[in-house]
Amino acid sequence: MTDSQSKPESLNPPPTAPRNLTGGGATRQMPLLPAMAIVKTPYFHVLGYSVAGEESVVQLPELNLVFDIGKCPRPVLSSDFCLLTHGHIDHSAGIVYYLSQRFFQGMAPGTVLCPAGIAEGLAGIFRAWAALEGKVPEHRLIPLNVGDEFEMRKGLVVRAFATRHSVPSVGYLILDRREKLRPDLSALNLPGHVLRDMRQRGEKITYTLDVPLAAYTGDTNMAQTLTQDGVREARVLITECTFFEPGHRRRAEAGRHLHLDDLIEALPQLRNELILITHVSRRTYLRWAAKVLAQAIPKTGNYPRVEFLMEHAQKLSVRPGKAATFTPPEPPEAIDAD
Ligand SMILES: [Zn+2]
Ligand SMILES: [Zn+2]
């Protein structure tokens, strides 16, 4: 039985009920806890929550990393590496809590990768919080410029790639890096001791093979973000796409975000197996956006599968009975800058 069914008729909101406390529209029921999405891929799970201006946090648990930290939902504490794309608060608010809780729980100090342009700002936040907390939790802060790489563990490398947003930003490409036997030597089927001798003589018998596993854009307004080397081939591409309304392309440009048209423009060049869309605004209804997306993808041609991360949000069963009623405030008309 729903909340409204359990009340006498006279207490139900009339059809002309105001949208919210300040007027207009009907009251909606929303759970107080945001429901995390879980997507299973052949390579890793993608766990996260992403709504423009509110919170973005996307964890790949098996790769021991989380892209952006949002408000630091509890599951993401388990990842040793936090890869911040930029400093907007919907992406980075939980960073001090992440470091502090890991210390509190007796976990290894967290490692934070970030665009070089925000490293000093982050260090300042850590220092400011230390004045309240008594100490800065142990951590590593790794600033990256576009093209820089960092090895998270043997064979798992992150590379920063270019994005364009209203503040310093980078995206992250995750590479599975393997040393493989040179194809010419492999064809000869040489015994192990011969290869060992060659190596001891200083001959290079292997080559490096990078398999791009995942790419995460964070916020960006550049369609070319998606078509960069590695990003377009990543098995799973996780990209923002904030605007879907046909007339909102200029608005997306002004807020430094992607419009669906940008994604569709890039699509023929993309070789990803799965594209997950994040950072949809709360005022965009996912079902409607999914229809618009389905219509926009050309009917012929071999395109990657495109889905919304938040389509995979887990249904929360709140006991006993029902979710709390919450009236969301009217979204501001201002252009999204986060
Ligand atoms: Zn954002
Ligand atoms: Zn932003």
pLDDT tens digit sequence for 193-221: 999 999 999 999 999 999 999 999 999 99
- Ligand at minimal distance from the CA of 91 is 1
> Mean pLDDT in the chain?
87
Q: Residue 109 pLDDT more than 70?
A: yes
Longest dimension (CA), the chain: 90
What is the predicted pLDDT for the residue at 100?
94
- Ligand at minimal distance from the CA of 282 is 1
Q: 317 pLDDT band (50/70/90 cuts)? A: low
Q: 328 pLDDT band (50/70/90 cuts)? A: low
Alpha helices in the chain, H assignment, sequence order: 3-6, 89-92, 95-104, 119-133, 183-188, 192-200, 249-254, 260-266, 286-296
Query: Residue 264 C-alpha to ligand 1 middle, in angstroms?
Result: 20
Rounded to 5 degrees, what are φ and ψ at 216? -130, 125
Query: Residue 336 C-alpha to ligand 1 middle, in angstroms?
Result: 8
- Ligand at minimal distance from the CA of 168 is 2
Query: Residue 337 C-alpha to ligand 2 middle, in angstroms?
Result: 6
**Cis bond before residue 137 (omega within 30° of 0):** no
Report long-range pairs for 69-76 (Cβ below 8 Å, ≥24 apart): 69/93, 69/94, 69/95, 69/98, 70/94, 71/97, 72/97, 72/98, 72/101, 73/34, 73/36, 73/49, 75/36, 75/47, 76/47
Q: What percent of the chain has pLDDT over 90?
A: 75
Query: Residue 279 C-alpha to ligand 1 middle, in angstroms?
Result: 6
Sheet holding 55-60, edge to edge: 37-40, 45-51, 55-60, 65-67, 81-83, 110-115, 139-144
- Per the model's pLDDT, the better-predicted residue between 253 and 10 turns out to be 253
Query: Residue 142 C-alpha to ligand 1 middle, in angstroms?
Result: 21
- Ligand at minimal distance from the CA of 115 is 2
Query: Residue 145 C-alpha to ligand 2 middle, in angstroms?
Result: 18
What is the predicted pLDDT for the residue at 26?
43
Could you tell me the two tokens for 16?
Answer: 């002309």
- Ligand at minimal distance from the CA of 163 is 2
- Ligand at minimal distance from the CA of 220 is 2
- Ligand at minimal distance from the CA of 221 is 2
Rounded to 5 degrees, what are φ and ψ at 265? -65, -40
Query: Residue 154 C-alpha to ligand 2 middle, in angstroms?
Result: 31
Query: Residue 338 C-alpha to ligand 2 middle, in angstroms?
Result: 3
Averaged pLDDT for residues 271-295: 94
Burial 302-326 (b: 16+ CB within 10 A, else e): ebbebbbbbebbeeeeeeeeeeeee
CB-proximal residues (5 Å) to ion ligand 1: 90, 219, 338
Averaged pLDDT for residues 65-71: 98
What is the predicted pLDDT for the residue at 24?
38
Q: 319 pLDDT band (50/70/90 cuts)? A: low
What is the predicted pLDDT for the residue at 283?
85
Query: Residue 49 C-alpha to ligand 2 middle, in angstroms?
Result: 15
Query: Residue 90 C-alpha to ligand 1 middle, in angstroms?
Result: 6
CATH class as words, domain 34-312: alpha beta
Query: Residue 106 C-alpha to ligand 2 middle, in angstroms?
Result: 32
Averaged pLDDT for residues 126-154: 95
How many angstroms from the chain centroid is the CA of residue 275? 11
Query: Residue 169 C-alpha to ligand 1 middle, in angstroms?
Result: 11
What is the predicted pLDDT for the residue at 223?
83
Cα separation, 271 vs 237, in Å, equals: 10
- CA dist 51 to 48, 171, 193, 279, 282, Å? 10, 18, 56, 5, 6
Q: 300 pLDDT band (50/70/90 cuts)? A: confident
Domain spans in the chain, listed from the N-terminal domain onward: 34-312
Query: Residue 278 C-alpha to ligand 1 middle, in angstroms?
Result: 10
- Ligand at minimal distance from the CA of 88 is 2
- Ligand at minimal distance from the CA of 53 is 1
What is the predicted pLDDT for the residue at 333?
58
Q: 28 pLDDT band (50/70/90 cuts)? A: very low
Query: Residue 253 C-alpha to ligand 2 middle, in angstroms?
Result: 13
Q: Residue 12 pLDDT more than 90?
A: no
Residues in the chain, total: 338
Query: Residue 65 C-alpha to ligand 1 middle, in angstroms?
Result: 19
Residue 23 CB neighbours (<10 A) = 8
pLDDT tens digit sequence for 152-190: 999 999 999 999 999 999 999 999 999 999 999 999 999
Query: Residue 55 C-alpha to ligand 2 middle, in angstroms?
Result: 10
